[in-house]
Amino acid sequence: MSTFADFNFKGLKALVRVDFNVPLDDQFNITDDTRMTATIGTIKKIMNDGGSVILMSHFGRPKDGPTDKYSLKHLVKHLHQLLGGQTPVFFADDCIGSQAALTASMLKAGEVLLLENVRFYKEEEKGDAEFAKKLSTLGDVYVNDAFGTAHRAHASTAVIAQYFTTDKRMFGLLMEAEVKSAEKVMHQSEKPFCAIIGGAKVSDKILIIENLLNRATDIIIGGGMAYTFIKAKGGNIGSSLCEDDRLDTALEILDKAREKNVSIHLPETSVIADKFAADAQTKDCPSDQIPDGWMGLDIGPKAIGIFSEIIQKSKTILWNGPMGVFEMEAFQKGTKAIAEAVAAATQHGAFSLVGGGDSVAAVNKFNLAKEVSYVSTGGGALLEYFEGKVLPGIQAIKA
């Protein structure tokens, strides 16, 4: 396995797997280009070396082969702009076949080719070796810069690597940074290590919490999932979100935490509402004394104070999941306060990793993305990494 920064791409065609699965509006305008901008450094390094770049990506979940809605042609213009407006960006209306092969073969140094959506072929998600082999013939070097798909054993994210020698397959700059940050949290964390886990359901986060019990000193639980724990302990949670079939699981997690001397922190107070709406009546209430007909939609001021203090004493911080329904202004104070506490701890020397769609959306919403150590682009991949699973996209490069 080569290191991307040390590799010289002069005269070579680099086949780069990127994650250009960006949201589009009805007029095919990109509404969030974060995933595209994240890979620009990798593309420019190859071009600056005197290499050419062949990009492949999935886009959406097309069911019946090629459709205009899921064509990557809609991204060409914006990619051209992101690269400075001077770089030729070509598009192939297929990802394998004669047109793709011909365009790739004619590519000159400093030029970029974007291939059509790899998911137009069912072979992509099946991890078909023959399809991966066809893709591999387009480039001299394989670069995986799509951390967001690293947990998928698909043709273009994992299987393709076997067709390149170990010195001709590598992570791109984004993938390198993602892997390095995740490994720092899981394997080189300084104590105290605080994991902040939020979101709606305990069932979505059981594996990550259990794995973190072996590493973290403190686990803060917020969001809707907190009320399953509070009810399991005998609290009254009114109409708050609760997974009744996970009450025993919640108690088992609390027991395991005690055995391992890990402190699990649940919100002592909540901002409760009489309905799930932006204009609901709200009040502050102990989280285990929520009246019937009311629901917890954010952590309360006392919980904010306690959680912030724990975070600011930490040396390593992982944040995955919001503290409440932060999309509504009435219930965003908790998530905002946690984001500010993570930023403050980072300024005092802590290493902080924010990952998972809602947490990333929160730090962006509150303009704090640059105040934390690292913001991950890989939602599902990051979650599976912290659950302790082997990610095929990483394994294929390292093998």
Reading the block at residue 391, the tokens are 């990610």
35 included as an active-site residue: yes
pLDDT digits 0-9 by tens, 288-326: 999 999 999 999 999 999 999 999 999 999 999 999 999
pLDDT of residue 236: 97
**Whole-angstrom Cα distance, residue 269 to residue 287?**
5
Q: Judge whether 201 counts as a catalytic residue.
A: yes
- Hey, what domains does the chain have and what are their CATH numbers? 4-171 (3.40.50.1260), 179-386 (3.40.50.1260)
119 or 356, greater pLDDT: 119
* Whether 283 is catalytic: no
Q: Which residues participate in the annotated binding site?
A: 19-21, 35, 58-61, 119, 152, 205, 296, 327, 356-359
Give catalytic status of residue 258 as yes or no: no
Query: What are 249-274's pLDDT values in tens digits?
Result: 999 999 999 999 999 999 999 999 99
How far, in Å, CA of 277 to CA of 141, rounded? 52
Binding residues for ATP: 205, 296, 327, 356-359
Among the listed residues 256, 315, 357, 365, the single catalytic one is: 357
Instruction: Please enumerate, by residue number, every residue annotated as part of a binding site for substrate.
Output: 19-21, 35, 58-61, 119, 152
Q: Mark 356-393 as b/e (b = at least 16 C-beta within 10 Å).
A: bebbbebbeebebbebbbbbbbbbebbbbbbbeeebbb
pLDDT on residue 380: 81
Active-site option among 35, 45, 168, 231:
35
The set of residues, in sequence order, having a beta carbon less than 8 Å from that of 121 and lying 6+ positions away, is 65, 95, 96, 131
Whether the bond between 301 and the residue before it is cis, its omega within 30 degrees of 0, is: no
Using the predicted structure, report yes or no on whether residue 1 has a pLDDT greater than 70.
no
- Would the CA dihedral through 160, 164, 166, 169 be positive or negative? negative
Residue 367 has which token pair? 């303009």
Specify whether the CB–CB gap between 322 and 222 falls below 8 A.
yes
**Tens-place pLDDT, residues 104-121:** 999 999 999 999 999 999
Take residue 193 and report the two structure tokens written for it: 């290590």
